[in-house]
Structures are given as C-alpha cells and as structure tokens.
A and B are shown apart, each in its own frame.
Chain A
Amino acid sequence: MRETLILTKLYFLGSVRRQVHLATLFLGVILLMLPSYINAFSLGINAFERVSKDFGLTLIAYFAVGMAILIASSSIPRDLESRSLYPILARPVERYQYIAAHFLSLCALLACSLLFLGLCLTTSVSALTRALDLSIFVAIFTSFLQASVVGVLTMTVSTVASPALAGTAGAFIFLVGSLPGAFVRFFLVEDRENQFAATAATALKSVIPNLSVFSLKDPIVHQIDFHPSYLLAVVFYALVWIAVALVASSILFGRRDL
C-alpha cells in the first residue's frame, strides 16, 4: 500500500505539472459565466436554475469522462515509451501497485477537478437564486463514479494497446454504456423491427457497464426524490466494475514483457 501511495503522488504531481488542471480552470470560468449565457430574467428564476443546473451538470459529466479517457489512455503507454517505469518496476514494486497508483492518481485528479467545477456551478446558480443548493454535488459525485469506471476500463485497454486504440475503446464504452435500454428497445425493435441489431446492442450492453445508472442529473435538476439506497447501490456497482477492471489490467500488465 505504501508503494502505491508513493506512486499515486508521483503520477498526480505529474498530471498537475503537465498543466492538465488548466482545462478544469477554463471550464470553471465558463460555469461562473453561466448567467451571461442564460437570460435569467426572461426565463424566470426557477427556469434559470433548472437550465443552469442541467447545462452545467451535463458539461461537467462530459468533461469528467473526456478527462478520464484522455489521461487513462495515455498514462501507461507514455511511461512505456519514455521507459520511466523501468527503474520503478525494478524496485520492490508489484505491477498491480503500479496500475492501482495510476488509477488512484486519475481519481484524485478527477475529484479535485470536479470539486472545483461543482463549486463554480454552485456559486453561479446561488448568485441569482440567493439560495445555496448543495444537491449539485450528488450529481457531480455520480459523474465522478461514471468517469472513474470509464477511466479504469480505458486504462485496462491501454495496458495492451496504443493510446489511440485505448481512447477509442473508452469513448465506445461511454457511448454504448450510456445508451438507455429503452432506446435499444424503441429504436431498434419497435420502430425498425431490426431484431439482429437489437440483439447485438443488448449483448454488447450486457458486457459493458450500464453507465446510465450514474446519471442523477434529472432528479437533481427537477427535484425528483430518489431513495438514498439508490446512491449506495450506484457506489457499489461502480466499485465492482473498478475492482474487476483493476484485476483484469493487473493480470494483463503482469503477463506483459516490458
């Protein structure tokens, strides 16, 4: 565990010093300027609040996934290309610790970025509604879980593939995983009666995580109640996928000749 934490710090600092966080700052400024984009007084305060939250949370969710895919797809291949992992893995460090460190540094970076963006969005919305609404952070937390799951799966692919391939795989997992089951049923079965495409899509969806469960944006924006146990179930679902992906990537990377 000690080795994992030492490496996590190294990779986190590496991302920070490569100025990955500048993208977060840029998006934060956009979120703070939301009132300039949305005419609050023509919509009315309630509509403004909803539109702002919807727009902001959507932006944050896509940003988190994009950041996760970019970092996860390139971090291990970059270490391999620069050979900077050789002196590290020649130390008494196991390969699973190396993988876990990369994943934890990604999570730390995502957590810092999303916390900052959440604060920007909350500030922006609260400035006009004159009320502090922290429920935004619940939706941001599930976006964090979603990005972590996409990130760890992208990282698993990156242990055996190029950054471009791993990034494409990550984007594919996100797109197919976010596809609601109702979409498959309606557009492929009921509307087009394309049984083959529906079966293929269903099969594909059953082997990759169902990312639509992480979207709590609508209940938060429209103030629809949801049971707290749902949040627990979502956390458990994310942790299972993360554990499975970490084990798979450790096995794949452990068998690889460097």
Chain B
Amino acid sequence: MSSFAIDFRDVRKTYRTRRGAEVNALNGISFQVGAGEIFGFAGPNGAGKSTAIKSLVGLVKPDSGSVAVFDHQAGTRPAKQLIGYLPEVTLYHEFMNPLELLKLHASLAGVASQDRESRCEEALERVGLWERRASRLSEFSKGMKQRFGIAQAIVARPKLLVLDELTSGLDPQAQATLLDLLVQLKEQGLTIFFSSHHLREIEKICDSVAIIHKGYMKVAGPMTEVLAEESLTRLQVRFKESFNPETSELPWQKDRAGQYSVAVENSETVPLLRSLEADLEEVVSVQSQRRGLEELFHRLTTEQAEVPA
C-alpha cells in the first residue's frame, strides 16, 4: 500500500495518426502526488499533459505502466468514485440550469437522493453561483462556466480534484478567484492536481510540481526542492583596472559603483573564482539566488528537449 494520492509508474502511450505515423505522447513518465497536496503539472502545448490527465481519469488507456489513484487502478469504478474532474474547455449541456446539471452529476456520482439537494447547494455556494442556480448555462460567461465546472467536480466531495487548464482564457480577477478557491479546498483536505500554462500561479499555490516535455518527465517533486536544485550563485566582484570582463564569455553586468555581477551554477562558482584570481580586486558578495519556475520551465523545455531527463 502506498500513501500516494496519485502514482504514475513508467506510463507510456503512443497514438497513431490517420497516416499511420506514431506519436509518443507519454514516454515512460513516473511521478507521485501526496495526499492533501496541490500539485502543479506544467508543460508546453503537445507535451503530453492532457494525455496524462486523461489516463488519470480513465478516458485514455496507457499502453504500458500503471496509474493509481489512492491505490486503485485509474479508470476503475473505485478510482472514479474518488475523483472530481474538470476538463479543459468543456461545453456543458447548456439547455440545463446549473442546479439541474449538478443534481445529475451528483446522482451519477452516487450521492444519496436525500443528500443531493444540500450537496448541490453547498457546491454552488462555494463557487458563488447559488444566486444563478436557475439561469441557463448558455447564459454564463467563461469564468462562470469554469466556476460551475469546479462545482460539478466537487459536488460528490471527492478526495482528488483533477483540473485541466483551469484558468486558461480567464481574466486576472477570475484567475485569482479560482486560485483562492483551490487554496480553500486544499485546506479542507482535498488533493488537487492542476495543469496550467500559467507558471506563476503554479509557483504561487502548488506544494509540488512536475514539468513534462515531449512526453518525457523533465522534473518532478516538492516545489522547494525542485527550485532549490535550480538555485544559482550570484557573484558581485570588483576587478583590477587592467582586466576587462566584457572580453569574458560570461554575461557580466556592471553597476554604477563599477562593480560587476554575474549568476552562475553553484558548481561553477569555485572554479570561476579560481580562474579569475589574478584579475580580482575584491569579492564584494556571494549570494544564493533561486531561479523562478518560469526560468526553469524555459530551460527544461528548450535545452536538449528531446533528451530524456
């Protein structure tokens, strides 16, 4: 028995195009999500995020490997009973009103008939749509539809919430509202698996993160560890007048006081200082500088991208 909410192990999935070409959507990805975490899943378009998410909710069957949800094989009835899922850009049955459709989802999820009304009310209150319960879904804005999507995902009180591109196409205010909602849901003990292109929001609210590119898992783990491994050392030095750092390959930056600074990988700090020993007047400061998720994402998805991590 593992204690993971989600457990991907060596999952592979290949699609065949109509012309017979093979597209490797997932190339043996493995990662785990702990219970009660908010997990951010990032990657460029076509990286394999949606395939991984669909494998998790049972819409796609992996060719090999295993996906488990709280120790139940993904796609099975016990696993599905634990998941609330919000797909990317879904057109709901727009002829219905939110309350009708929510009741339908609650009954499909097996919520007892005597509890359905209260669960629907609770879910709509939570996303701020109770006042609009009698309006047609076709009258809703995109942000309201996403909020309804969260309501349908949480109506059966799942243990795991899977959200695919929750905030794409929303204005900043709607994004902030939804992110606050996710934090509140986490505080109630839900595990939230959340894919997004918006790396700042992942960095802001997620406990763990994974970056996938061309079907390969580039990095996965707790946010602090992932970013700590990527930390740099920022050196601030004063050179002897005889030395011109602009001839160096490093991108030295000069400030008004005539000091130069550069950020280098931790492992390169000592060799660099040794190589500059003869030209250095003074080392003003040595500081550890954390890279942001955006920088890490950019580096992992452009540099030798086709090489497995």
Seen from chain A, the residues whose Cβ lies within 8 Å of a Cβ on chain B are 2-3, 6-7, 10, 13-14, 17-18, 82-84, 86-93, 257-258
Provide the main secondary structure of the chain A interface: helix
**A87 pairs with B86, CB closer than 8 A:** yes
Out of A2, A13, A86, name the residue touching B90 (CB < 8 Å). Answer: A86
Out of A10, A82, A83, name the residue touching B104 (CB < 8 Å). Answer: A10
Shortest distance from the beta carbon of B148 to any chain A beta carbon, whole Å: 11
**A87 pairs with B85, CB closer than 8 A:** yes
Segment from B75-83, B192-200, B203-211, B217-225 that makes contact with A: B75-83
Seen from chain B, the residues whose Cβ lies within 8 Å of a Cβ on chain A are 15, 54, 57-61, 77, 80-81, 83, 85-93, 95-96, 104-105, 107-110, 149, 152-153, 162
Number of A-B pairs whose CB atoms are under 8 Å?
A: 71
26 contacts between A and B (CB under 8 A): A6-B107, A10-B104, A13-B95, A17-B95, A18-B95, A82-B91, A83-B90, A84-B91, A84-B92, A86-B85, A87-B90, A87-B149, A87-B152, A87-B153, A90-B58, A90-B87, A91-B108, A91-B109, A92-B77, A92-B81, A92-B108, A92-B110, A93-B80, A257-B54, A257-B59, A257-B60
**B109 pairs with A92, CB closer than 8 A:** yes
Q: Given that A84-B90, A84-B93, A257-B60 are known contacts, is A90 also in contact with B15, CB under 8 Å in the complex?
A: no
Shortest distance from the beta carbon of B200 to any chain A beta carbon, whole Å: 27
- List A contacts of B83 (CB < 8 A): 90
The 10 closest A-B pairs by CB, nearest first: A82-B91, A17-B95, A90-B85, A86-B87, A90-B57, A258-B59, A91-B108, A257-B60, A92-B80, A83-B90
Q: Given that A87-B85, A87-B86, A90-B85 are known contacts, is A258 also in contact with B91, CB under 8 Å in the complex?
A: no
Shortest distance from the beta carbon of B193 to any chain A beta carbon, whole Å: 13
* Nearest opposing residue in chain B for A97, CB measure: B108
